[in-house]
Amino acid sequence: MTRKNKTIGVLALQGDFERHEHQLRLAGARPKQVRLAEDLSDLDGLIIPGGESTTMNYLIDRFDMRRPLIEFADDKPIWGTCAGMIMLANKIENNQAGIEPLRLMDIDVVRNGYGRQIFSFTDTITVTLNGASLHLETTFIRAPRIIRCGSEVEALAVYKDSPVLVRQGRLLAGSFHAELDDDTRLLEYFLEDFFEQKRS
């Protein structure tokens, strides 16, 4: 299946899901907004966007999306960015907000691990995809920091000694926002490389 034949859902409860839709169209895929469990049907994959993780956590439960999202991950790819990474994580350190992650990836994270909104920044990181390195301009906005990776988690990019892009089977998670410009190389990697294997 080519990426032009894929329908990729974007969880549209909260956050800048429209930027992900824009990038999906640029890459030739069909985006679909996901707000209810039935919206997950007939999707090839899903993106959980950045946003405010406490609000996202509340709305996932408000709209009875938790179990459907966990079941979706059994055999479909998911990419979580920023707050999406927080929701995919196994554990949130110092979780004073009481967020209940989906526990799909064997990673532990700290919310706002790179500073709060006022400390947002853009930097270039080196990403290794299928043995090839590429330089990617990335934006960190209240970004989570990974403090532990399980043995089945592969670090694809590291920033200041911490993984910022990780893969576990059909799951991809990034601390940063890759959707804010028209560079679709990371999205194309997700669309082309995550649809032929089972999740670890």
The residues annotated as belonging to the active site are 82, 177, 179
Cα separation, 97 vs 76, in Å, equals 29
Instruction: Please give the Cα distance from 160 to 125 (Å, whole number).
Output: 10
Smallest CA-to-CA distance from 199 within 156, 152, 164, 166 is with 152
Closest CA to 73 of 82, 58, 61, 84: 84
- The C-alpha atoms of residue 195 and residue 189 are separated, in whole angstroms, by 10
**Cα 112 to chain centroid, rounded:** 16
Which residue in this structure is represented by tokens 């400390």? Answer: 119
Q: What is the CB neighbour count within 10 angstroms for residue 155?
A: 15
